[in-house]
């Protein structure tokens, strides 16, 4: 059924692509491996059709995923928070905006008003719940798929099979990287189509060992030091089966942690049998960034929406906790977590 839908969507995308030359890809704030991988992979495919493509990321790409960029790709990418004038110019001059890995424009934060008001044609490729399809000329949304990278690959593969565009090695590596990160190296959301994709990309020549090496064996020492602190002294496990950890700004600075250095921390407490849901808070400017993971039978998405202005997948979601606003000060974060986890898991 999904393949039938994608075939129809691919035909619509082809008609749109035939009438544009300059394209901008955009993704969500604090881009992760899937956001970056799907953006680069899709950009490469567009370039194979002779299109001019600019990738815009709302925030800087984490150092932990920067290996995905080839030297020539850097010149075709912009960071909105640092290159706003150039990014706005690219959006003004383009014919088409391709939105990847987010369900609605609010997920791009400061870019959202510009994107929503833009008269340019817009295509969405996303795997999250509740897509704002009305904001796009074409919305390609599938939740039963591993990642935006896989969805982009499966969609564009249909057109490549028709001789419309091609996948360069750069595209293949980007799609493999994005899918690998969003499945936590095949630990989550892995479906037959995901393994099919991986097999096809390996057959195409992707060096998965190199990708794994870059993803998981190049962290800074501070990541391990911070993780040790969290697990030893700062992990709370409630009687209801919630585990939560709070990393304060002073600790982020002490361990010199970048955006990607805490990736995966939230997954670790789920290894404990009695833990049903894990919550990780990392302090930023005026708020905590919230990551939530859960085991089957407990909805991380509902929890994120109810308490943290967020959402996402059933077992992998995120949001924000503001201070002042949601809590008086960052010192109140753990008390807030104790209250809401007891309330939610006791329902």
Q: Tell me the CA end-to-end span of the chain in Å, nearest whole number.
A: 36
Query: What pLDDT, on a 0 to 100 scale, did the predictor assign at position 99?
Result: 98
- Domain 2-216 and domain 221-345, same fold? Reply is no
CATH number of 221-345: 3.10.310.30
Residue with tokens 């493509």: 53
3-state secondary structure of 27: strand
What is the residue extent of each domain of the chain? 2-216, 221-345
Q: Which residues contact residue 264 at a Cβ distance below 8 angstroms, ignoring those fewer than 6 apart?
A: 184
Q: Rounded to whole angstroms, how far apart are CA atoms 315 and 294?
A: 5
Query: DSSP labels for 202-267?
Result: HHTT--HHHHHHHHHS---HHHHHHHHHIIIII-EE-TTSEEEEEE-HHHHHHTT--GGGGTTGGG
What is the third-level CATH fold of 2-216? Answer: inorganic pyrophosphatase (n-terminal core) (3.90.1640)
pLDDT in tens, the chain (347 residues): 788 999 999 999 999 999 999 999 999 999 999 999 999 999 999 999 999 999 999 999 999 999 999 999 999 999 999 999 999 999 999 999 999 999 999 999 999 999 999 999 999 999 999 999 999 999 999 999 999 999 999 999 999 999 999 999 999 999 999 999 999 999 888 999 999 999 999 999 999 999 999 999 999 999 999 999 999 999 999 999 999 999 999 999 999 998 889 999 999 999 999 999 999 999 998 899 999 999 999 999 999 999 999 998 999 999 999 999 999 999 999 999 999 999 999 98
Check: CB of residue 137 under 8 Å from CB of residue 121.
yes
């Amino acid at each position: 059924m999904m393949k039938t839908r994608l075939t129809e969507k691919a035909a619509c995308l082809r008609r749109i692509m035939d009438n544009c030359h300059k394209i901008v890809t955009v993704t969500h704030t604090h881009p992760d491996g899937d956001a970056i991988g799907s953006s680069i992979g899709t950009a490469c495919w567009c370039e194979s059709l002779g299109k001019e493509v600019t990738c815009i990321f709302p925030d800087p790409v984490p150092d932990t995923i920067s290996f995905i960029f080839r030297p020539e790709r850097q010149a075709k990418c912009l960071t909105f928070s640092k290159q706003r004038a150039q990014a706005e110019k690219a959006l003004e001059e383009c014919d088409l905006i391709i939105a990847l890995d987010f369900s609605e424009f609010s997920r791009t934060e400061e870019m959202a008003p510009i994107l929503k008001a833009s008269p340019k044609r817009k295509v969405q490729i996303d795997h999250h719940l509740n897509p704002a399809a009305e904001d796009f000329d074409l919305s390609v949304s599938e939740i039963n798929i591993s990642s935006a990278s896989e969805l982009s690959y499966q969609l564009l593969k249909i057109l490549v099979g028709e001789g419309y565009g091609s996948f360069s090695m750069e595209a293949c590596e980007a799609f493999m990287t994005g899918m690998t990160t969003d499945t936590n190296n095949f630990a989550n959301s892995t479906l037959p189509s995901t393994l099919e994709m991986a097999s096809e990309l390996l057959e195409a020549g992707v060096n998965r060992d190199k990708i794994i090496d870059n993803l998981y064996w190049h962290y800074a020492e501070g990541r391990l030091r911070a993780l040790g602190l969290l697990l030893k002294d700062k992990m709370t496990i409630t009687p209801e089966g919630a585990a939560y950890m709070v990393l304060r700004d002073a600790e982020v600075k002490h361990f010199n942690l970048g955006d990607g250095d805490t990736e995966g921390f939230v997954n670790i407490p789920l290894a404990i049998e009695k833990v049903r849901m894990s919550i990780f808070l990392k302090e930023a400017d005026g708020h905590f960034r919230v990551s939530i993971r859960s085991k089957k039978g407990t909805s991380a998405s509902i929890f994120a929406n109810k308490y943290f202005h967020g959402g996402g997948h059933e077992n992998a979601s995120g949001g924000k906790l503001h201070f002042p606003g949601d809590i008086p000060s960052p010192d109140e974060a753990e008390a807030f977590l104790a209250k809401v986890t007891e309330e939610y898991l006791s329902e």
